[in-house]
Amino acid sequence: MQEEDSPSGFETVNVDEARELIEKGDIFILDVRTPAEFNESHIEGATLIPVTNSGGSNLSPDQLLEARISEVPRDKKILVYCRSGRRSAAASQILVDAGYTGVYNMEGGINEWIAAGHPVVS
């Protein structure tokens, strides 16, 4: 894991470290992909709040993370993931910029999670 004082303000974890965080509990799992991607497969217990309109999704700005940030609890660690790790890094930065701490970006996204054999809900 990267050191806590990483310049970005969030920690990047691999899928095995992410699974350990989930197993310890008291973590908010944030999926920042599109509704279509989420419906295809997601980590059990994840909350969908898309970070951008990508993959042909037509969400209005008030349905995206910056507008819905109040839905993310401030009293828990937050594990953020997307498909490959790019959108989740951007989302993690949005959270840190908004004053959140204990933010973890899952490197490699759900693609890496599935490749490692970790369970998903589909």
How many of the other CB atoms lie within 10 Å of CB of 60? Answer: 8
Structure tokens at 29: 């799992």
Is 86 among the catalytic positions?
no
The residue from 29, 82, 94, 110 that is catalytic is 82
Written in H, E and C, the secondary structure of 41-63 is CECCCCEECCCCCCCCCCCCHHH
In angstroms, rounded to a whole number, what is the distance separating the alpha carbons of residues 37 and 57? 10
Q: Bridge-partner residues for 31, per DSSP? A: 48, 81
Report CA torsion sign: 87, 67, 50, 92.
positive
Catalytic residue numbers, as ranges: 82
